[in-house]
Amino acid sequence: MPQATLSAARVEGLLARSLPSEELERILFDSKAELRSRVADELRIEATPDRLDLLTEAGLAAHLAGALGLAQGSLPIVASKGEGAAPSIDATPAVDPIRPVIAAALIEAPDDAPLDAGLLDEAVRFQELLHATIGRDRRAASLGIYPADRLAFPLRYDLEPLAGVRFVPLDARAEVRAPAFFAEHPMGVRFGPLGTDGTRCLTLRDATGGVLSLPPVLNARPLGEAAAGDRRLLLEATGTRAGRVADALGLLALVFLARGWSVRPVTVHAPGRTDDGRALLAPRHIDLPSDLLRTVAGRAYPASEVEHLLSRVRLAARPSPHGWQVEVPPWRPDLLSSRDLVEEVVLARGVRSEDGLLPPSPTRGRRLREVRFRRAFAARLLGLGFVPLLRPVLSPDAVVRILGRTAAVALANPVSEQFAVLRDSLEVSLLAALERNTRHGYPQRVSEVGPVVVADTSAETGARTRTHAAFVLAGEGMGFAEAAAVVDYLLRCEDLRGVREPAEIAGAIPGRAARLRLVGETVAEIAEVHPRVLSELKVPVPVAWGEVDLSALWPLVGRPTGAPTINPEGPSAERG
C-alpha cells in the first residue's frame, strides 16, 4: 500500500496540540491507514490506495481534527477575490492524440501566511506520491506547481516541433534545446515518451511565449519555479483521462486549502468545448438513504448520530426526505456512491467484534466439494514433482497457431499478441512456459490446474469455461508412456480406470496420442508433442503432455455418499 513520511511537528502544529503515538494508532486503526513507525519527527504512515489524502500533513491533520473533536464538518473551500476576467488556458487540437486533458486552479495564500519552504516541500512530496499512485507513474495524470504572479495569461497548451523548443530545466541553470533534453536528461529519458510524438513535444507557455513546463516531464525556470514568499500559485494537471486529472488536482489542492488558501477557477478553452473550471474544486453531493444505511450496516442509526459521525470524518450532511444529502470534497475521490458513505459511517462509529454478524450459509467453515476435488489434483501433481504454474486464460497467439488449435476463441481486438486468444487447453500455457525457460536445465516438470474456455454454440456467450488439470514432461526419454502413467495415477486416486483410445490431437505426433473415456465421456488427453512444434518453440528436448478435464470428471465422481456406483467402462466393467 502507498506510504509517506510526514512531519509530526507540522501535523501537531495544524492541530495545535501534541499527538501521542498510542492515540494516533487508535485513530488510524478506525480509518484506512496505519502508523508504521515514529522516529523523532518522522511519521511513517501507510494508507489504502483510496485514502491518499491521509498521506500529507494537511490531510492527516484535517482527519485527526475531526476524530479528536477539534473540528467538525467539511473543510471550507474559500473563493478567491481575484478581480477581472478568469485566468484561462488555450489547448490546441494537436495535443489530443497523446495527452488531451488539462485542468488548473489558481490558489492564493492568506494575508498573513505566504508560501514557506515547509509548505512547498510538503506539496512537492505529495505531488510525487500522486504521480506514482493515482497518476500511474505520470501516464494517467501529472501535476505542476507554478508561481502565478510571474505568469501572463492566457496560457497555451500545445504540441510543438522539438527543434523550436528551448528552455531552462528546473534543476539546471543553462538553457537547453528540447532534442538534447529528451535524449540526455534523466527525466527526459524516463518520461519523454509520454510527452512526445515523433519530432514534436508537449509545451505549456504563457502569453509572452515563456515556457512553464514540458508536460508531463519537467518544469522550466523561472516560470515553473515556485519559491518561498509566493502568494499566488497555479496548480495544473494534464493527463489522458479527465477523471484522473480532476482527482489528482483535487488531492494536491488539499495541501493548501486545509491551510486557508483561497481558490479561483481557471477556464480551459479546447476545440469544441469550454470548461470554466468551477466544478473542479466544488463539492459533490451524494444521497445517503436511511434504508440503505440500516440494511448494509445491520442496525438503525438515529439521524443525529449519522450527522455527527459524518461530521467527524469531515463530511457535511443535511437531512433529505429519505435520509441525508452529503457534501463530498474534491480530495475524496473514493466516495462515489451511497454505499461508500455507509462505510464512512460504520468506520467512524468504530468496528467492534460484537458488531459482527455471521450470515447463514450452506458452506460455512468448509470449501465446496468440487473445489476440494480440484485442489486434490493440484496437490497430487505437486507430490509427483511438478512445479505448479498460474497463467492467465488469455494466451499467446503464436503458441496457439503453432499447435494448430483452430477451435480456440480469438479476441477481436487484443491488447497484444501475448494476450490474443482464450486458451481451450492448458497445453497452450504450459508450452509457452517451456518456451520462456529454455535456458534452464532439463528435465523440466510443470503443471497447472485452472480454467480454459471452449467454444459452445449452445451457451449464451458462444463459449463455456471449464476447469482442467494438465502437466508437461520435458527431457530426454520423455514420451507417451510416461505421460500416460501420470494420468492413470491421477484417475486411480479417484478410484477410476478409463478406456484409452487412439486419437489425432493438434500438435501431437501421429500414433503417439490418445483420449481417455469414462462412460462415453472424454475426460483426459495424452500425447507426445510433435518435433515441428518443439522446433518452432526452440525447446531442444522431447515433451510429453497430459490433460484431465475436471469439469467432465466431477459429475462422474462427485455423487452424494451412498449413490449407486458408476461403471466407468460400460456394463461389463468394474471400478479399479
Question: What's the angle, vertex CA 165, arms to CA 159 and CA 171, rounded to 5?
Answer: 110
Q: Do 167 and 123 reside in the same domain of the chain?
A: yes
CA distance 571 to 82: 92
Q: Do 409 and 522 reside in the same domain of the chain?
A: yes
Task: State the residue for C-alpha cell 508504521.
Answer: 36
Average pLDDT over residues 72-89: 84
Q: Do 56 and 113 reside in the same domain of the chain?
A: no
CA distance 353 to 367: 24
Count of other CB atoms within 10 angstroms of residue 341:
26
Cβ contact 58:259 at 8 Å: yes
Q: Do 124 and 271 reside in the same domain of the chain?
A: yes
Average pLDDT over residues 259-275: 92
pLDDT at 576 over 70: no
Residue 499: inside a domain? yes
Residue 65 is predicted with a pLDDT of 92
What is the tally of structural domains in the chain? 4
Q: Do 43 and 129 reside in the same domain of the chain?
A: no
Residue 453 is predicted with a pLDDT of 93
Residue 362: inside a domain? no
Would you say the C-alpha torsion 480, 483, 487, 489 has a positive or negative sign?
A: positive
Residue where a domain stops, chosen among 238, 257, 275: 275
pLDDT (tens digit, 9 = 90+) per residue, 294-328? 999 888 889 999 999 999 999 999 999 999 999 99
Q: Do 264 and 292 reside in the same domain of the chain?
A: no
Residue 282 pairs in a beta bridge with: none
Residue 352 is predicted with a pLDDT of 64
- Greater pLDDT, 566 or 2: 2
pLDDT (tens digit, 9 = 90+) per residue, 474-508? 999 999 999 999 999 999 998 888 899 999 999 99
Q: Do 385 and 464 reside in the same domain of the chain?
A: yes
pLDDT (tens digit, 9 = 90+) per residue, 87-131? 999 999 999 999 999 999 999 999 888 999 999 999 999 999 999
Residue 461: inside a domain? yes
Residue where a domain stops, chosen among 48, 67, 86: 67
Residue 93: inside a domain? yes
Cβ contact 79:263 at 8 Å: yes
pLDDT (tens digit, 9 = 90+) per residue, 379-395? 999 999 999 998 889 98
CA distance 473 to 303: 66
Average pLDDT over residues 128-151: 94
CA 226, distance to chain mean position in Å, is 32
298 Rama class: left (phi>0) / alpha (psi -120 to 50) / beta: left
Residue 361 is predicted with a pLDDT of 74
Q: Find the CATH number of the domain harbouring 167.
A: 3.50.40.10
Residue 390: inside a domain? yes
pTM of the shown model: 0.64
Q: Do 312 and 442 reside in the same domain of the chain?
A: no
Identify the domain containing residue 334 by its residue range: 284-351
Residue 573: inside a domain? no
pLDDT at 351 over 80: no
Residue 364 is predicted with a pLDDT of 67
pLDDT at 573 over 70: no
Residue 44 is predicted with a pLDDT of 92
Q: Find the CATH number of the domain harbouring 539.
A: 3.30.930.10
pLDDT band at 529 (very low <50, low <70, confident <90, very high): very high
Radius of gyration of the chain (CA): 31
Residue 349 is predicted with a pLDDT of 85
Burial status of residue 255 (CB atoms within 10 A of its CB: 0-12, 13-18, 19 or more): buried
Residue 576: inside a domain? no
Residue where a domain stops, chosen among 244, 275, 306: 275
Q: Do 13 and 128 reside in the same domain of the chain?
A: no
pLDDT at 181 over 60: yes
Q: Find the CATH number of the domain harbouring 342.
A: 3.30.56.10
C-alpha closest to that of 147 among 220, 201, 209: 220
